[in-house]
Structure 1
Amino acid sequence: MTLSAPAARAVDLRVEPVDNVLEHVERSLQAELDRETVVRKRCSVGARTDRRTWVRIERRGLDKIGMQGWNGTECAARLEGITQPGWRGCVVWRDADEPVMWRADETDLLPSAPVGNAILSEDPKLQDSWWQAFNASLDALAAQDTRRLATPDTETITQALVTEAVRSISLSDDFDTTVERWVPAHADLNWANMTAPRFSLFDWEDWGNAPRGLDSASLWGSSLAVPALADRVRHERRHDLESRDGKLMTLFACSKVLGPDAHPQDPRMEPARRMAEQIIAELQAD
């Protein structure tokens, strides 16, 4: 018999009281958190410390912590050739009242501010040097080795998941959805997890092996409201996106935009629909 962890209560840390959590982290890391710098997101809270570092605190249900754990930022510290904040240490504890765990990772401060929100509505006008650093890090990441499996949106990516997503936006099943090449990916690549004007890539909680092109396609999908930016992403990552796996990942990204929870006024919907039709036709012709 397989035992499964109980599901955790859904919590939004943007509104949930977190003072006790912040105090626990301060005692454990022996550092003071600057309350004026606190950034609250749905599943995480971050703040600057009195020793010029950053602490990111995440709450995750036991049912969302698989065999590989949830130490992505720690494991990413060993990666070579990637521009990312240095990792200093962490504290992990189980909640006394709920089936959840908390984890606080301390890293160096970001060299610049995040580019923007996860999905952009304006062109950030990034310099060529930024794109060069971006490409160098993504190429270096794909050349690494890991046993980790990517967990975009905390869900382990599998061949079955890819097939389900692709089929959800395709009216036919007359092309193969089998992924040929799996490589390490950040798995949460969007404009909120990179900095500019100095490039750095952060928030490594979900990284691991994934179909080639996942990161490139995800960033393209986050750029669709700014056509020139989406075109730039496709140009810079064309060696990924023009591959067969990259085409499947483009459809995977399109499924996120065109899925049942899509907002009818989302400006990304029409370009995603057009690209999906184009890619499906190409795969059918192969």
Structure 2
Amino acid sequence: MALSVSTGQDIDLRVQPVAEVLDRVERSLQVRLLPNTAVRKRRSVGARTERDTWVRIERRLLDKITSQGWNGTECAACLEGVAQPAWQGCVVWRDANGSVLWRADETDLLPDPPVGNAILSRAPGLLDEWWEALNASLDALASHKTSRVATPDTVIITQALVSESIRGVFSGDFDTTVDRWMPGHADLNWANVTAPVFSLFDWEDWGNAPLGLDSASLWASSLAVPALADRVRHERRSDFESRDGKLMTLFVCSKILGPYAHPEDPRLEPARRMAEQVIDQLEGG
């Protein structure tokens, strides 16, 4: 049966009808979704279930699914030492017209609400224990081995992508070659972590990435709150002091300062200042 959601390129699940999708997920997972708990985003919908679990449903075009598959949340279940909701199961199907895949993953509930939006505008007041748990999870994640490659923003991260992103915005006499690649979450921002109890979720895009990508991403989403951005840099200073961490700082700054920069983005000036400092350090080193 064809689904009611349009299968074209320009889809926003916040406004598109998804009733038939939800019905299919309920039948397949044999669970009832609670409508008043639904969270709708551009390409995903999530809801609590009657058995006190969470189901996240995502729509993705076939050309956005790499040869490694589309099972990040499932694969992340084997990561020891990383605070995350336990994975319970999933259902995957191909849309009637063949150009889209849908995937629904069921996990345990989050221990607490997400800290906030992807980009914060005020300090969240996190305890020292929260930062300790963040550090422990990121360090544990980096110690694992995987054949997966991270896909931030659904794009495979490669050396070419890193170099092109940095060179497209910044000039300077420095090498953009990444030395160390290791497992990373690849979508670390304030919408994907919980507090006061720390947990990291939304694992669709995790895989090998340059050292420091996660730390730089969390820092970039903190820039509108200077004290919070400074705390991220302090807690993850070993990443930021490394050459790869400096490159990842420029990589995330290139997204803020690049051709799609918003003139009223409060992160513009701090990103510009940090980029200048990092380029000076790279050229001097």
Is 1:187 the equivalent of 2:191?
no
Contact 1:61–1:100 (CA<8 Å) still a contact in 2?
yes
Q: What is aligned with 1:241?
A: 240
1:114-173 deviation per Cα after TM superposition (whole angstroms, max 9, x unaligned): 00000000000100000000000000000000000000000000000000111122123x
TM-score of the two chains, using structure 1 as the length reference: 0.96
SS at match of 2:56: strand
Once residues 101 and 165 of structure 1 are traced to their aligned partners in structure 2, the CA distance between those partners, rounded to angstroms, is 28
Q: What is aligned with 2:212?
A: 213
Q: How does 1:1-286 map to 2 (within 5 A)?
A: 9-172=9-172, 174-286=173-285
State the superposition RMSD in angstroms.
0.9
| Pairs aligned (count) | 279
1:24-83 deviation per Cα after TM superposition (whole angstroms, max 9, x unaligned): 000000000001101000010000011000000000000011100110000000000000
Contact 1:142–1:185 (CA<8 Å) still a contact in 2?
yes
SS at match of 1:193: coil
SS at match of 1:196: coil
Amino acid at match of 2:127: Q
SS at match of 2:265: coil
Once residues 171 and 197 of structure 1 are traced to their aligned partners in structure 2, the CA distance between those partners, rounded to angstroms, is 41
The unaligned stretches of length 5 or more in structure 1 are 1-6
1:160-192 deviation per Cα after TM superposition (whole angstroms, max 9, x unaligned): 0000111122123x2111100001000000000
Task: Using the TM superposition, give the Cα deviation of residue 9 of structure 1 relative to its aligned residue in structure 2, in angstroms.
Answer: 2.0
The unaligned stretches of length 5 or more in structure 2 are 1-6
Task: Using the TM superposition, give the Cα deviation of residue 208 of structure 1 relative to its aligned residue in structure 2, in angstroms.
Answer: 0.1
Once residues 74 and 215 of structure 2 are traced to their aligned partners in structure 1, the CA distance between those partners, rounded to angstroms, is 23
Task: Using the TM superposition, give the Cα deviation of residue 98 of structure 1 relative to its aligned residue in structure 2, in angstroms.
Answer: 4.7
Report the identity percentage. Answer: 73
Task: Using the TM superposition, give the Cα deviation of residue 8 of structure 1 relative to its aligned residue in structure 2, in angstroms.
Answer: 5.2
Once residues 128 and 211 of structure 2 are traced to their aligned partners in structure 1, the CA distance between those partners, rounded to angstroms, is 24
Contact 1:8–1:61 (CA<8 Å) still a contact in 2?
no
